[in-house]
Structure 1
Amino acid sequence: MGKLTKNDVEHVARLARLPLSDKEILKFQKQLSEVVTYVSELAAVDTSKTKPTSQSTGLTNVTRPDISKSKGLTQEEALSGTESLHNGYFVVPQILDKKDR
């Protein structure tokens, strides 16, 4: 597949629900045609001797330990900046009706 038509670009724009001007359609027609040409070139590459792989680094589960660097606040420290308290908890405006529960 080579150059995309104006209708191809309009079709893709409709599917993506993108309103495009005529100027944008021409711009994207050129850009998308270049992408399709490049992908066609990739499809022609001989990969018959390439081993299938799901990743290329050989690394697995590269993570760091989940260790907190700070001790955090005590309940008393966290609540010290408010006057809206009840039984050791913040009091906030209600956002759910009883029917939502």
Structure 2
Amino acid sequence: MASNPATLTPEDIGRIAQLARLELSAAEQSAMLAQLNGFFGIVEQMRAVDTSGVEPLYTPLSAIEDVTLRLREDAVTEPDQREANMANAPAADGGLFLVPKVIE
């Protein structure tokens, strides 16, 4: 990617489109470049804000009112069906699906 991580080049857009198997026209590539760089600009603005001492929120509502999470008990509710689920897998190893490599 580009030397500045917050700025993409037209070559970066071409590479992203290739990896995503997208056929983009020159106008679409130009629009995508502007949109993605605009997004990265917003991210950079947010990173510039000093958030030291700010507690993370698990919901935006907790900033204005006391919110109690209603969590259910963590209990197994379904039987183990790994063998049945793996029966149709074209390739498996140790209970895991094996898939062809798709990332260069």
Max radius of gyration: which structure? 1
Does residue 70 of structure 2 align to residue 61 of structure 1? yes
What is the TM-score normalised by the length of structure 2? 0.51
Among 47, 50, 55, the alignment partner of 1:51 is: 55
1:56: Cα distance to partner? 3.0
Among 8, 14, 19, the alignment partner of 1:15 is: 19
Q: Where do 5+ consecutive residues of structure 1 fail to align?
A: 63-101
Task: Give secondary structure in 2 for the equivalent of 1:41.
Answer: helix
1:61-80 correspondence runs (5 A):
61=70
- RMSD (Å) for aligned C-alpha atoms: 2.3
C-alpha distance 17-59 of structure 1, shift in aligned 2 (>3 A): farther
Does residue 33 of structure 2 align to residue 29 of structure 1? yes
Task: Give secondary structure in 2 for the equivalent of 1:8.
Answer: helix
Task: Give secondary structure in 1 for the equivalent of 2:27.
Answer: helix
Q: Where do 5+ consecutive residues of structure 2 fail to align?
A: 62-66, 72-104
Question: Residues 38-85 of structure 1: CA distance to partner in whole angstroms, max 9, x if unpaired?
Answer: 1111111111020123223224239xxxxxxxxxxxxxxxxxxxxxxx
Q: Which AA in structure 1 matches 2:18?
A: R
Alignment identity in percent?
32
What is the TM-score normalised by the length of structure 1? 0.52
Asked which structure has the greater RCO (Cα within 8 Å, sep 6+), the reply is: 1
Equivalenced residues, count: 63
